């Protein structure tokens, strides 16, 4: 197969933990050809979607892990698979890219995840589709609503709808002397919508990332355990990753959500589960494949390449 990866710059990829790299490595080991492009390389010209793509060959070395060929213009529809793996933020340029990819899809391109699904499944708001699994949640831009929510639950998390890696996440309790300025900052004085959730003390046991491929949950998750004095378990925020078998509740959540995901064209997703509660559904560029493989020997990247094949 010829596979095209829409990525951030190759120089920014950390090969020891990057899931896109894990998928590239698995695909290359099977003899598939790997091509890369960035979001800005997409182009609509004369009725078709073109992209400036570059074929790369993996060297097996570090840090010079790839050799780059010459860039050339290709129709995305001529590839066997196109993987949209650009990291958030989900800004207007990302939004426009999904529209260009959707045009390519109409021309016959097989895009994973489907561009329309990337637009429709906000990684925070999508838990509203599964209220039976979600913790008490509020989405608003009004400070008064957030204060009422805090008064009711006493200990809450406030986070932006477009963030990743724990950026912009605050834990608030009653009597917090910084409450006003945090709410003003989070909502940009009532101009930006945020999500609040009841704080889940089970975060001390880890924020579990469950990978779902083609609607099927991988048998292991990565519990991201906050460092001492920290609320966020995100690896980017200093959390420690511990691979574990799925619990019965984890499998129940992932199986129910996975059926809906695959029906809407989401081939790869990362569910975030704290305790027994679903807190996020990551569909843009979910990671943690390599940590699970390193600790448990189960390679989720193989599941994904099997699916593409």
Using an 8 Å Cβ cutoff, are 8 and 36 in contact? no
39-303-210-146 Cα dihedral, nearest 10 degrees: 30
Report helix, strand or coil for 86: coil
Task: Say whether 87 is catalytic.
Answer: no
Task: Say whether 282 is catalytic.
Answer: yes
Closest CA to 284 of 2, 77, 83: 83
Asked if omega into 113 is within 30° of 0 (cis), the reply is yes
Task: Say whether 272 is catalytic.
Answer: yes
Catalytic residue among 198, 282, 299, 302: 282
Residue identified by tokens 């699994």 is 133
Closest CA to 1 of 21, 20, 29: 29
Catalytic residue among 280, 291, 299, 302: 280
Catalytic residue among 25, 85, 114, 124: 124
**How far apart (Å, rounded) are the C-alpha atoms in residues 24 and 35?**
9
Catalytic residue among 85, 86, 232, 302: 232
Task: Say whether 68 is catalytic.
Answer: no
Catalytic residue among 114, 198, 224, 302: 224
Using an 8 Å Cβ cutoff, are 200 and 135 in contact? yes
Task: Say whether 129 is catalytic.
Answer: no
Q: What token pair was written down for 12?
A: 């920014």
Catalytic residue among 159, 198, 208, 302: 159
Task: Say whether 232 is catalytic.
Answer: yes
Q: Is 232 left (phi over 0), alpha (psi -120 to 50) or beta?
A: beta
Total residues belonging to the chain: 309
Catalytic residue among 85, 208, 209, 302: 209
Q: DSSP state, 202?
A: G
Catalytic residue among 26, 123, 272, 299: 272
Q: Could you list the active site residues?
A: 124, 159, 209, 224, 232, 272, 280, 282
């Amino acid at each position: 197969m010829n596979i095209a990866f829409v990525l951030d710059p190759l120089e920014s990829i950390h090969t020891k933990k990057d899931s896109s790299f894990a998928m590239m490595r698995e695909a290359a080991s099977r003899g598939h050809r790997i091509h890369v492009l960035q979001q800005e390389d997409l182009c609509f010209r004369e009725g078709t979607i073109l992209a400036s793509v570059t074929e790369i060959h993996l060297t097996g070395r570090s840090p010079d892990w790839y050799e780059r060929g010459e860039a050339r213009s290709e129709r995305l529809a001529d590839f066997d698979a196109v993987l949209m793996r650009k990291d958030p933020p989900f800004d207007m340029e990302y939004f426009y890219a999904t529209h260009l990819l959707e045009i390519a899809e109409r021309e016959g391109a097989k895009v994973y995840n489907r561009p329309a699904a990337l637009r429709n499944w906000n990684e925070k708001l999508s838990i509203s589709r599964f209220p039976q699994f979600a913790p008490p949640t509020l989405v608003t831009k009004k400070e008064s609503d957030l204060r009422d929510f805090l008064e009711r639950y006493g200990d809450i998390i406030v986070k932006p709808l477009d963030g990743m890696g724990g950026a912009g996440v605050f834990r608030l309790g009653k009597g917090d002397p910084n409450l006003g300025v945090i709410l003003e900052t989070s909502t940009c004085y009532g101009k930006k919508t945020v999500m609040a959730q009841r704080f889940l003390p089970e975060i001390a046991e880890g924020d579990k990332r469950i990978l779902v491929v083609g609607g099927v949950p991988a048998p292991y998750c990565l519990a991201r355990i906050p460092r001492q004095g920290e609320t966020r378990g995100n690896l980017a925020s200093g959390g420690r990753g511990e691979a574990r078998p799925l619990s019965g509740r984890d499998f129940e959540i992932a199986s129910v959500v996975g059926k809906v995901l695959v029906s809407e064209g989401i081939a790869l997703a990362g569910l975030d589960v704290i305790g027994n509660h679903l807190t996020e559904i990551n569909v843009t560029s979910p990671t943690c494949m390599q940590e699970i493989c390193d600790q448990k020997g189960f390679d989720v990247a193989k599941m994904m390449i099997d699916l593409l094949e």
